[in-house]
Chains A and B, each alone.
Chain A
Amino acid sequence: MSDSTTFINCEEAIASIRSVLDGEASPDLSASLDSHIAVCAGCLEEFERRRQVLALLGNTLGQRRISDGFDLNANKRLTEMRQTPDRPRAVTSQDSRRMKAIEHETDPDALAAELAAETGQEEPVEVGASGGLFAKLGAAPWWAVSCALHILIIVLAGLVTMSIDLPKNDDAVIMMTELAARPQVEQEQQKEKPESALEALQSKHDTPATDPTSKEASDIVVPPDLLAKAELGDHFETINPDRPDTQSAFGNPDARMFHSVEGNDEPEGGGGMGGMGMEDLIGVGGVASKGTGGGWGGGDGTGVGVGTGAGRGSFGQRNGGGRRLMVKRHGGSKMTENAVDKALQWLAYHQEADGHWDSRKYDGGKATYWREVKCDTAVTALSLLAFLGAGHTEKVGQYKDNVKRAVAWLKSMQDAKGCVFDRTDSSELGLGYSCAMATMALSEAAGMGNIPETRAAATRAVTYCVESHAEGAGSETGAWRYQPKMAADISVTGWFVMALKSAKVAGIHVPASAFEGAIKFIDQMEQKNAAPDSGYGPASRFEYQKGAGTNHRRCAIGNLCRQFMGWKKEDLQSSVELFIKDGGVPKWQDDGDKQHKNTLDMYYWYYGTLCVFQQGGDIWKQWNEGLKAALVPNQRKGGDEDGSWDPMGTYSECWGRVGSTAIGALCLEVYYRYMQLQPDKH
């Protein structure tokens, strides 16, 4: 026994037996247990008993494990059962006993014996005469039982009535009534009526309410001393699409303060010219010279441009001249831009004080099914991405305070391993999605704002994604799913691929093995030759997991991952066309089915929009027309919901109005959020 051995009591000794026998205990704890059982006969006996129990368990269960093909066989069986019209039903013991009672009603002893044998009970189950009676009653038609009961009740009631003698005395009760004088109603009527609510609300002023559209000059005179103290409000709303909000991201005049000289709108991302304070804006570059490139991974900076000059680098086209150029080039309009502005405004007004968005507060949290869930991390990350997508960072933009608070909240949710997740959220399905979205948002915030703390948080989040959450490790790193190291699926993997791509573009190191694992996984999910050759080669579909089936949403994710990981768009054209054929272009149509069959599927729209945008060409034109027609006219106007989208369709019950609005904005930011990796010729 070493000197460091701690003395433990009997309770602690017994609690430590399992970990010592499993080899999980520390040497000190093992030594402490040894020293305890050396002097305590009771614990020694307990130790020996438990050692034997573990040995029995090891002998009986240790060699067993579920067959490798269990899940696939179950899936096959499920498919077969679905196709069988007279499939077997789930039967519980209650159902089975009822059936047996009917079968064995003439022989209760046989039933008792069989039940006892089946349940492994020592004593036979009592199914005597009463069991037979109940079995017979249970077998009778319901109406017969009902009639019998009613007759029984009527007969009993009759018997009771006949047996009770009514009192026969002749005592009479004399009631005397005295008429009172009539109340003085008229006096009440003559009282003065109170002022009606309508009258109370009516203005006592002669002048009408100020109408901003009126051509007549207002006669309201503001005292000069008050006018001298007046300041501009922090925002200015407009409902005129031809005059977008001049304080918003679109055409933000504040941006000029960073550019003393006009910039340019050159195609490859352009470049801001001159100006001051560019270090605040540029992530990696940071010089006041013309940018030399743009797009994913290109260019010499990963910053954001503002003002009339286009930004430099990968995120540079999200604001200023670059943004206007991209909107025009890829089929956006002032209407789409105004819709983005209104959506951001709604999100900004509905952000919580600590920086997060509440998934349940605004028509969300009901889950896609019927149990309440909470996904604040995910909707906060999506909302933050919507602000970042429109060029608002922790340093610039009208909504920089909102961005700052959202980033701070996400950082506060980061654990020691780097996982960004609010532990009060529903975790089992939400952890993977939320963590990926948060990593993506922090990475883009780091790339655009270049604040060291944000960059450090994003780096830790990336490390968690690659080292702790992905399946496998090192060179065997695979893809992702809901929980760490869980067998991957394509839906969660799509978010992680986007997150890591954003991180890479933001200048954060991402091990190559992460993308290699994702590529391998996507390859495994591919169903080749899913449709005839349409001129671009055979089309592919993508499964959720091996053998778990495919749909248009999964195909959009698979194709987008391939685009982000370097596939040529010519090689993906037929597959992209196939999923559009399967799932259609966006269409605002509520089928009344709030679940997965709804054609209003913003989750599909999001992935599809990013993917088809990268393909460009005619399919993008078709998709974009559908997208605009679906989103712009259906954005809520007026009231507290002004600028938001109703949570409708697939998954919307979960993410609520916040999620729908964030995703709607992200869809309409597609023209400038990412550059086309292989641009169309213009």
Chain B
Amino acid sequence: MHTTDMAIEALEGLRANPDAAAVDHFWILLERFRAGLVHQALTIVDKQQDAEDIAQETLCKAFLDIGRLRDTAKLGVWLREINRCTALAWRRGSRRAKEERLSTEKLQAIEAPEDRRAPHAPSIPGPDDAAVLRAVDALPEPYRDVVILRYWEKMSTDQIAAKLGIPSGTVRSRLTRADGMLAQKLASLLKS
């Protein structure tokens, strides 16, 4: 089972007590899954800030509806499903909002929105970036997790090993295999 014990514990915390003490476990759920969910959302929406909002909403919804999950081993898959649907709904909503905004812009002056984009987040991803994001997102879960922890959370091999509860050697081999898979998926972007 790939999903770590920590996340399972967190899930159990949520399931057991949606009130006070379970909040403790909510933080573990955040730590474990936030990067993966933000990454996944970024394959659907453009801005990192939006992706973060989607991931937060996903985690909160999962927290509150945890009773609907039957198999804890599928926690990661379940969260990604919720995240994908949330992101799609978000995108539809933002399209509608954009259309409405365009129609009203002519009639009234709109105050420039505050730049809520994370300061370190790059601008809207270009075509290559989008391809890389999608390629990473399409990796099998064990490989995707190590890549995301490596790049999003800036973790060393040992830190990833501790986080996922697996040996460092396994992390290295998963990274190596992930590189191989990504090289195939991104073949069109690689220079010969």
Q: Are A and B associated in one complex?
A: yes
Residues of chain A having any CB pair with chain B under 8 Å: 14-15, 17-19, 24, 46, 49-50, 52-54, 56-67, 70-71, 73-75, 77-78, 81-82, 87-96, 118, 120, 367-371, 373, 426-429, 482-484, 489, 491, 544-545, 548-549, 551, 595-597
Of the candidates A67, A120, A370, A551, the one whose C-beta lies within 8 Å of that of B21 is: A551
* Known contacts A53-B190, A370-B12: A66-B52 contact under CB 8 Å: yes
Whether the pair B85, A92 counts as a contact (CB closer than 8 A) is yes
Q: Is B143 an interface residue (CB 8 A)?
A: no
Instruction: List residues of chain B with CB within 8 A of the CB of A17.
Output: 176, 179
In the complex, how many angstroms separate the beta carbon of A173 from the nearest chain B beta carbon? Answer: 55
Q: Is B98 an interface residue (CB 8 A)?
A: no
Q: How far is the CA of A64 from the CA of B41 in the complex (A)?
A: 14
Cβ < 8 Å to A, chain B residues 162-179: 162-163, 165, 172-173, 175-176, 179
Q: How far is the CA of A483 from the CA of B163 in the complex (A)?
A: 8
Whether the pair A64, B151 counts as a contact (CB closer than 8 A) is yes
Mostly, the B contact residues are: helix
Cβ < 8 Å to A, chain B residues 75-131: 78, 81-82, 84-86, 88-89, 91, 118, 120-122, 125, 128-129
Whether the pair B152, A65 counts as a contact (CB closer than 8 A) is yes
Whether the pair B61, A89 counts as a contact (CB closer than 8 A) is yes
Residues of chain B having any CB pair with chain A under 8 Å: 4-6, 8-9, 12-13, 15-17, 19-24, 26-28, 30-31, 34-35, 38-39, 48-49, 52, 55-65, 68, 72, 78, 81-82, 84-86, 88-89, 91, 118, 120-122, 125, 128-129, 132-134, 136, 147-148, 151-154, 157, 162-163, 165, 172-173, 175-176, 179-180, 182-183, 186, 189-191
Whether the pair A56, B186 counts as a contact (CB closer than 8 A) is yes
Q: How far is the CA of A64 from the CA of B123 in the complex (A)?
A: 11
Whether the pair B186, A118 counts as a contact (CB closer than 8 A) is no
Whether the pair B21, A66 counts as a contact (CB closer than 8 A) is no
Q: How far is the CA of A54 from the CA of B136 in the complex (A)?
A: 12
Instruction: List residues of chain A with CB within 8 A of the CB of B121.
Output: 63-64, 67
In the complex, how many angstroms separate the beta carbon of A648 from the nearest chain B beta carbon? Answer: 16
* Known contacts A66-B34, A66-B153, A596-B17: A50-B179 contact under CB 8 Å: yes
Of the candidates A88, A94, A367, the one whose C-beta lies within 8 Å of that of B57 is: A88
Whether the pair A548, B27 counts as a contact (CB closer than 8 A) is yes
Q: How far is the CA of A429 from the CA of B21 in the complex (A)?
A: 14
Of the candidates A18, A118, A428, A545, the one whose C-beta lies within 8 Å of that of B27 is: A545
Whether the pair A427, B61 counts as a contact (CB closer than 8 A) is no
Q: Which 10 A-B pairs have the closest CB atoms?
A: A369-B12, A428-B6, A61-B151, A90-B61, A90-B65, A369-B16, A428-B5, A60-B132, A596-B21, A92-B81
Instruction: List residues of chain B with CB within 8 A of the CB of A58.
Output: 151
Whether the pair A71, B27 counts as a contact (CB closer than 8 A) is yes
Could you show 17 A-B contacts with beta carbons less than 8 Å apart? A18-B179, A50-B179, A52-B189, A53-B186, A56-B182, A65-B152, A66-B38, A67-B52, A74-B59, A78-B23, A78-B60, A89-B65, A93-B81, A96-B89, A367-B12, A549-B20, A596-B21
* Known contacts A63-B122, A428-B6, A595-B16: A56-B30 contact under CB 8 Å: no
Q: How far is the CA of A64 from the CA of B150 in the complex (A)?
A: 11
In the complex, how many angstroms separate the beta carbon of B117 from the nearest chain A beta carbon? Answer: 9
Residue picked from B8, B153, B165, B191, most chain A C-beta under 10 Å: B8
Whether the pair B48, A64 counts as a contact (CB closer than 8 A) is yes
- Write the chain B residue with the least CB distance to A596: B21
Q: How far is the CA of A535 from the CA of B105 in the complex (A)?
A: 60
Instruction: List residues of chain B with CB within 8 A of the CB of A92.
Output: 78, 81-82, 85
Whether the pair B136, A88 counts as a contact (CB closer than 8 A) is no
Whether the pair B6, A482 counts as a contact (CB closer than 8 A) is yes
Instruction: List residues of chain B with CB within 8 A of the CB of A489.
Output: 24
In the complex, how many angstroms separate the beta carbon of A41 from the nearest chain B beta carbon? Answer: 13
Whether the pair B154, A49 counts as a contact (CB closer than 8 A) is no
Q: How far is the CA of A489 from the CA of B24 in the complex (A)?
A: 9
Whether the pair B162, A484 counts as a contact (CB closer than 8 A) is yes
In the complex, how many angstroms separate the beta carbon of A189 from the nearest chain B beta carbon? Answer: 59
Whether the pair B60, A18 counts as a contact (CB closer than 8 A) is no
* Known contacts A81-B60, A90-B65: A63-B24 contact under CB 8 Å: no
Of the candidates B24, B120, B154, the one whose C-beta lies within 8 Å of that of A548 is: B24
Instruction: List residues of chain A with CB within 8 A of the CB of B147.
Output: 57, 61
